[in-house]
Amino acid sequence: MIGYYISLALRSLRGTPILSALMVAAIAVGVGASMTVLTLNYMMSQNALAHKNDVLYAVQLDSWDPNQTFNRGDGGNDIPLQLTYQDATALLRSDIPARQVAMHRYGFTVTLEDSEARPFTAETRVSTRDFFALFDVPFIYGGTWAEDADLSPEQLVVLSKATNDRLFGGADSVGQIVNLNGEPFTVVGVIDNWNPSPKIYDLNNNPFADSEELFIPFGLHRRFEMVSWGNTNGWSAGDNGYEGYEARLFGESVWIQYWVELNSAEQKSQYDEFLTGYIRQQKEQGRFPRPLKFALTPPSEWLVLNDVLEDDNRVLGWVSLAFLLVCVVNAIALLLAKFLRKAPEAGVRRALGASRHAIFMQHLIESMCIGVLGGLFGIVLALIGLSGIRALTLGIADRIASMDWLMMLAAIVLAILASLLAGIYPAWRISRTNPSVYLKSQ
Amino acid sequence: MLNMHNIRKSYRTDTVETHALRDFSLSVDEGEFVSVTGPSGSGKTTFLNIAGLLETPTGGEYHLDGQEVSGLSDRERSRLRNEKIGFIFQGFNLIPDLNLFDNIDVPLRYRGFDSKERKRRIEKSLEQVGLSARVKHLPAQLSGGQQQRVAIARALAGEPRFLLADEPTGNLDSLMARQVMELLELINQAGTTIVMVTHDPDLARRAHRNIQIVDGQVSDLRNTIGAEEAAVA
Ligand SMILES: Nc1ncnc2c1ncn2[C@@H]1O[C@H](COP(=O)(O)OP(=O)(O)OP(=O)(O)O)[C@@H](O)[C@H]1O
Ligand SMILES: [Mg+2]
């Protein structure tokens, strides 16, 4: 019967092309507008680490100002989002986590000995060796550096695929030398394409930026007097008697992102204890002036905490759905007009043996056909809307302003739901009308 | 076959209540050809609609084929209507944007026949009414008489036991009316029970039996045709 209803629906739509076009347009415009916004929101809320939600934690310690809380964004928990260098290096000494990563953003000028390749500045991640394993970064060649390199300066580097393509034409470059700021670094690994968006492992700057082009060991700070190229927050210079670069390393500024992998509840409670003990001990030395507070946050909550999907976007999402509802109401009026005009035919069908249910289904499927068409055109409108956003944002939003298959499917589902919503009342009305009224009137 | 006892039907609008049928009792036997006459507004169409399960009576008993049908659900009534009853209307009531094939197809679809069986029946019934050549035509491309024959073909395609015709010749000239009447007589001879509402006393007389409805009730079963003629005159 469904096939019969669909063929009737298509015939009926062809019979009133202008009215049909209006209804399809109503659904398409509503779906197009809401899918544009919902796609942005959806892409902004992607969690590349969802599969590790129950083992990965971002670490926060409240080492902040005694006179005021650290506060950033609506979703925040009043604890600094990053750690001080001294706390990060202290935590690295714990062997409770299965894996842990301390890291920050940096940059190097890259040159190649005996090469025509022009020098360029490369986004760099300074990290401990577990970065790749912790965040599931795939390698093409080689692998991460040995543990020593995180403690003492060893000039090793892991290249992104794009960088390796650029410098070595995609060949296995493990063992080759790359000059960073004029210093020779030995390539130990090349990673495959890897670009989580939002960039969940470091949301401090643009959460939708590309991932880094180079990765170097954490043991190189003093060698290059590295500080963060990313977001740094401070409240006190610290008065621990250090001078020069050491003073910057051991100040109270927060600029290190810290993640741990805790594979069991037991490990987690051990680590909780460890952090509590650490903060107590630091308090004895005059640091951590605020009430004892720390947080271990899994990836999905980390996205919320960092306010990646801002409230404005959420509101816009609801507004766009409300707009779709307005379009649906329009479609209801049009469908009602159309169905009631065809009421005599429904009367004849009833006389010939159609039940109310059959009439209801026939008309509901007609509205669903409008929904499917509206959905397809809605996708086209959403793609146009998203390309408009890409054009307006000059590349910043390229990766979030694009539709994947799931969102296209969602558009169709949304359109069908909208058309069902629009069609239920008109279809019900027509199925309830007394057929004899229309049979007489001819 | 059809057995109505004390059927009542009233329509209530905001202000008035119309008693379209009251204490309406009638039996029609298998194979009969019954004509129904009566003044306009007397309840003839209402009776047909109740007989054809398109409307439910306000009260009374109605047995169709021995089955009490008043309490049935819409789905069951629709199934009975589809299987046992064929309708023919004064206005033909063909679906204008479906060709003859698809029009006749309608009751067969609700019956759930496969496409082969539907095709067989459509062709057979079109042949019965002599319109096989017009299968792809739209209703508007046919004359009134032809349209009514298509409507009859559509009513016959499901091979109903029971044909209900509401002024089937009302919109036709006398020649075409006679053709349609002859067709109905043939169908009746083949075994289908027919109840036909008509204003035409000549046609009414050709039925086995004529009943007259006056003011929502069956009036005297004898000499009704004379009374009808008097009413018309
Ligand atoms: N749907 C309805 N709502 C209200 N009143 C109705 C309805 N259908 C019929 N009636 C009333 O019921 C009465 C009987 O109507 P019905 O159509 O059965 O008459 P009829 O005998 O078929 O008349 P005609 O010969 O003109 O076709 C009339 O008074 C009519 O106004
Ligand atoms: Mg009538």
Residues of A in contact with B79 (CB under 8 A): 353, 355
Q: Does residue A98 sit in helix, strand or coil?
A: coil
CA A148/CA B12 separation, integer angstroms: 94
Q: Give the number of whichever ligand sits closest to the CA of residue B12.
A: 1
List, as one string, the DSSP characters of B153-218.
HHHHHT--SEEEEESTTTTS-HHHHHHHHHHHHHHHHTT-EEEEE-S-HHHHHHSSEEEEEETTEE
Report CB contact under 8 Å: B106, A349.
yes
Burial degree of A441 (CB within 10 A; 0-12, 13-18, 19+): exposed
User: Which amino acid makes up residue B123?
Assistant: E
**Any CB–CB contact under 8 A between B47 and chain A?**
no
pLDDT of residue B150: 95
pLDDT of residue A178: 94
Please name the residues between 103 and 132 in chain B that touch chain A, using a CB distance below 8 Å. Answer: 106-107, 109-112
pLDDT of residue A67: 87
Report the residue of chain A nearest B88, measured CA to CA: A351
Report CB contact under 8 Å: B87, A351.
yes
pLDDT tens-digit readout, A62-84: 999 888 888 765 667 889 999 99
Task: State in Å: Cα B198 to ligand 1 middle.
Answer: 15
A·B CB contacts under 8 A: 77
Q: Could you tell me how many residues make up chain B?
A: 233
pLDDT of residue B26: 94
Tokens of residue B48, six digits: 């047909």
pLDDT tens-digit readout, A2-36: 999 999 999 999 989 999 999 999 999 999 999 99
Confidence of residue A309 (pLDDT cuts 50, 70, 90): confident
Q: Give the number of whichever ligand sits closest to the CA of residue A434.
A: 1
Domains of chain B: 2-232 (3.40.50.300)
pLDDT tens-digit readout, A335-350: 999 999 889 999 999 9
pLDDT of residue A73: 57
pLDDT tens-digit readout, A181-206: 999 999 999 999 998 888 999 998 88
CA angle A422-A423-A429, nearest 5°?
120
Spell out the per-residue pLDDT of chain B, length 233, in tens.
899 999 999 998 888 888 999 999 999 999 999 999 999 999 999 999 999 999 999 999 999 998 999 889 999 999 999 999 999 999 999 999 999 999 999 999 999 999 999 999 999 999 989 999 999 999 999 999 999 999 999 999 999 999 999 999 988 898 889 989 999 999 999 999 999 999 999 999 999 999 999 999 998 655 444 444 444 44
Task: State in Å: Cα B187 to ligand 2 middle.
Answer: 23
Look at residue A372 and tell me whether its pLDDT is greater than 80. Answer: yes
pLDDT tens-digit readout, B47-82: 999 999 999 999 999 999 989 998 899 999 999 999
- Bridge partners, residue B214, by sequence: B217
pLDDT of residue A74: 60
Report CB contact under 8 Å: A442, B154.
no
Q: Give the number of whichever ligand sits closest to the CA of residue B165.
A: 2
Report CB contact under 8 Å: A355, B49.
no
Considering CB atoms only, which of A15, A357, A436 is closest to B49?
A: A436
Task: State in Å: Cα B52 to ligand 2 middle.
Answer: 14
Task: State in Å: Cα B121 to ligand 2 middle.
Answer: 30
Look at residue A304 and tell me whether its pLDDT is greater than 60. Answer: yes
pLDDT tens-digit readout, A147-187: 999 999 999 999 999 999 999 999 999 999 999 999 999 99
Q: Does residue A128 sit in helix, strand or coil?
A: coil
Look at residue A396 and tell me whether its pLDDT is greater than 80. Answer: no
Report CB contact under 8 Å: B78, A354.
yes
Provide the b/e sequence for A298-311 (b: ≥16 CB within 10 Å): bbbbbbebbebbee
- Segment A304-318 mean pLDDT: 83
**Any CB–CB contact under 8 A between B58 and chain A?**
no
List, as one string, the DSSP characters of A274-321.
HHHHHHHHHHHTT---SPS-EEEE-HHHHHHHTTSS-HHHHHHHHHHH
Taking any CB pair shorter than 8 Å as contact, residues of chain A touching chain B are: 1, 4, 11-12, 15, 344-345, 347-358, 434-436, 439-442
**Ligand 1 site, residue B9, Cβ cutoff 6 A:** no
Kindly state the DSSP code that residue A113 receives in the 8-state scheme: T
pLDDT of residue A72: 63
- Report whether A133 contacts A201 (CB < 8 A): no
Quote the distance between the C-alpha of residue B209 and its chain's center. Answer: 16
Look at residue A384 and tell me whether its pLDDT is greater than 60. Answer: yes
Which of the residue ranges A95-99, A241-245, B204-208 would you say has the lowest mean pLDDT?
A241-245
Q: Whose CA is nearest to atom 6 of ligand 1?
A: B11
CA A108/CA A231 separation, integer angstroms: 17
User: Which amino acid makes up residue B38?
Assistant: G
Pocket test for ligand 1, best of B7, B10, B11, B213 (most atoms within 8 A of CB): B11
Provide the b/e sequence for A238-267 (b: ≥16 CB within 10 Å): beeeeeeeeebbbbbbbbbbbbbbbeeeeb
Considering CB atoms only, which of A4, A350, A435 is closest to B109?
A: A4
Burial degree of B217 (CB within 10 A; 0-12, 13-18, 19+): middle
Look at residue A240 and tell me whether its pLDDT is greater than 80. Answer: no
Among B12, B13, B3, B42, CA closest to B219: B42
**Ligand 1 site, residue A439, Cβ cutoff 6 A:** no
Report the residue of chain A nearest B114, measured CA to CA: A1
Task: State in Å: Cα B21 to ligand 1 middle.
Answer: 9
CA B156/CA B162 separation, integer angstroms: 10
Ligand 1 nearest-atom number relative to CA B49: 18
CA A239/CA A250 separation, integer angstroms: 9
- Report whether A122 contacts A108 (CB < 8 A): yes
CA A396/CA B39 separation, integer angstroms: 81
Task: Tell me the ipTM for this assembly.
Answer: 0.92
- Report whether A132 contacts A103 (CB < 8 A): no
Residues of A in contact with B49 (CB under 8 A): 436, 439
Taking every pair of Cα atoms in chain A, the longest distance, rounded to a whole number of angstroms, is: 102
- Segment A286-311 mean pLDDT: 89
- Report whether B190 contacts B15 (CB < 8 A): no
Residues of B in contact with A435 (CB under 8 A): 54
pLDDT of residue B224: 46
Mean pLDDT computed over every residue of chain A: 90
- Segment A303-328 mean pLDDT: 87
pLDDT of residue A283: 94
Look at residue A300 and tell me whether its pLDDT is greater than 60. Answer: yes
Q: Whose CA is nearest to atom 7 of ligand 1?
A: B11
pLDDT tens-digit readout, B149-174: 999 999 999 999 999 999 999 888 98
Q: For residue A121, how many other CB atoms are within 10 A of its CB?
A: 11
CA A295/CA B190 separation, integer angstroms: 89
Look at residue A242 and tell me whether its pLDDT is greater than 80. Answer: no
Q: CA of A420 to nearest chain B CA: how many angstroms apart?
A: 23
Give, in order, the Cα–Cα distances in Å from A236 to each of A46, A54, A64, A250, A272.
36, 35, 9, 11, 26
